Structure 1
Amino acid sequence: MAAHFLFLALLALASSHAIASDPSQLQDFCVADLHSDVFVNGFVCKDPKMAKAEDFFFSGLDKPGDTGNKLGSNVTLVDVNKLAGLNTLGISLARLDFAPYGLNPPHTHPRGTEILVVLEGTLYVGFVTSNPNNQLFSKVLHEGDVFVFPQGLIHFQFNNGKTSTVALAGLSSQNPGVITIANAVFGAKPPISDEVLAKAFQLDKKTVDWLQAQFWTDNNN
């Protein structure tokens, strides 16, 4: 009985790991057919005989992103939508540019863990654990420093210096997704009831209405 229970527990753990990450490829590659009308969890493959080098190539991460917005930051994500050869490979990449005192606001990646390295400048970064502890893990990073943000947890990056900062991030999904907390809560379409938000954030409805009327910047490209 104990051996049977152990087998079921190990099977459950293996299944949960498989469900919680991008599926493993069953062939050398599966270039995404971004124009297919077939809907699956990911993208269907185009005929491998039609694959070409350009399917595995992206150019442009040498160019700084436009940080001339309210946040003073820009994220250039290279995921499966921009690099079809990433389909089924479980990875993506992003360049992060920050003006002095620029912020990549609190957000989550529902489908991927992020690992970030600072190439130029400094960043104050951190993530918050789930309920009930909500513990903040934070650090000031300098050139060459690396930090990891676990999948699904709220995290941020802030340039606390007087010069521009550049960072590079890898993510453990071909399409990690991003949910910017303020945008999602106060910029939802149609809007979330101000009564709900007022009670959730312990604010009066006028303040909630004012927040919902703001333009919430999206710094993701």
Structure 2
Amino acid sequence: MTTSDQEFGSYGERLAQKQFGTAERAADFYDRQMHDVLTPPMREFIGDQTMVFLSTADAGGACDATFRGGPPGFVTVLDDRTLTYPEYRGNGVLAGVGNLVENPHLGLLFVDFTRHHIGLHVNGAAALRTDEEQRAAHPGLPRDAAPGRQAQLWVHVTVHEAYVHCSKYIPHLEPAPRPRTTEMGRPKDAEYFLRRESAHPASAGATTRAGGVPQPRGLRRLWRR
């Protein structure tokens, strides 16, 4: 049973359930699995996790999915209705933070890939707080959650929904030593997904348009319209 009388599930969910004939099964799931607080096992589970997947959207609904990792407990459960995690200096884009400025709703997915092969969804609303503000309100926050890194701000999450993600398709992964990038023979992160041109682009069936960017032959006619 849930811990409150709130009705879980969005309007769109319920329309889809009606169309596909799953409303009864969904109602049973909402009744047994959906919570508006973090149960003690959920709180313990979050404290053990070293990664979380995050989803946000801007005011217009454009989505962003990302990943955060750290030592166990880097996502800190403050009480059964709130949790928080730090944001560190990155590439400066701040896509997720920017979305939260416009739209506070976010989703978090914690997955245990190694032991129990289970996941936990936490949906809620976020507030952005400076390191000083968050530590003043919560003095027990870890000081060195990411060794050598200083949190620029904290994402403070008020929990609206928390529920299980079943184990059926969660793969089994084993922790392994992380090889150096040079040992892997791969490009640096900043160059990994950039276009790597063939030494002879013509032999790969491409032509070059103005600006030196190779253009597949099949697109030449569309480009000229």
TM-score, scaled relative to structure 2? 0.24
Greater share of helix: 2
TM-score, scaled relative to structure 1? 0.24
Greater RCO (CA < 8 Å, at least 6 residues apart): 1
> Max radius of gyration: which structure?
2
